[in-house]
Structure formats: C-alpha cells, structure tokens
Amino acid sequence: MIYYKDLTTNEVYGYDETEESQLPYIQQSIDNGWENVTGSYPPPPLPPTAEQNQQKASGLLYNTDWTTISDIGLPTASPRLANQAEFIAYRQEIRQIAVYPLAGEIIWPTLPTEVWVPIPPLDEFLSVLPTQTIP
C-alpha cells in the first residue's frame, strides 16, 4: 500500500500499487502535488473478520444474559425491569450476528438503557384493595 495526503484537506488516501486499476489514482495524486506519506502514515486497520464479529456478538449476549431471567420482568418482582421486551429485541438482533456472522464493519444495535420500577410498599398496596366487613 502507498499513502498520499491531500494537502488542502489533510485527508489521506491509500492505494494498492500491485492493483493495476489503482495506478491512475496514484498518478493523479502525484500530479495534484499530494504528499507521499507512506512511511509515516499507519495503514488503516483491517475490517473485522466473521470470527471477530461472532466473538463480539457472543460477548454482548453474555453481558445481557441476566435480562432473560424469567422473573426479572414480572409485575411482582421488586425492582422489576420495565423494558425487558427491549432487551429481548436487542438480543435477538445480536443473536443473528452470533449465529450468522459476517466479515466487515457491522452497525451494531444499541444496548437499551435499563428501566427499573420498584413495587410499592405492602401497606400502600393494601390501601388500594377493596375492604370487606366480616359479619
């Protein structure tokens, strides 16, 4: 790879010298007076492999396993996760990547923010129940 820096925008472009289709771009960079920064510019990182994306997806699933505990979203749980359905949808998208990984950059779904709802104290709960008089 060879790298040229456009001095007017400071953008750096990389070209593969062994690829014939890239040669006109290299020549155009030279003709435009762009600076050859090959020795001083680090090459861009390689895109992630399918295996790396699968590992990341597996890690994201592992970190949210707790959201699948059956009683965490129950109305009687205190506190309860009010947006458990959002986590289930998030995990479903991540699972697709873990099961069918692709190489390259992936736009990862956004992790939902936890929304916790406490249940009211027992005396507050009992105060709203209908009362009966026992004869």
Locate the domains of the chain by residue range. Answer: 2-36, 50-121
pLDDT of 55-114, one tens digit each?
999 999 999 999 999 889 888 888 899 999 999 999 999 999 999 999 999 999 999 999
Report the alpha-carbon distance of residue 28 to residue 11 in Å, rounded.
15
pLDDT at residue 124 above 70? Answer: no
Q: What is the pLDDT of residue 127?
A: 67
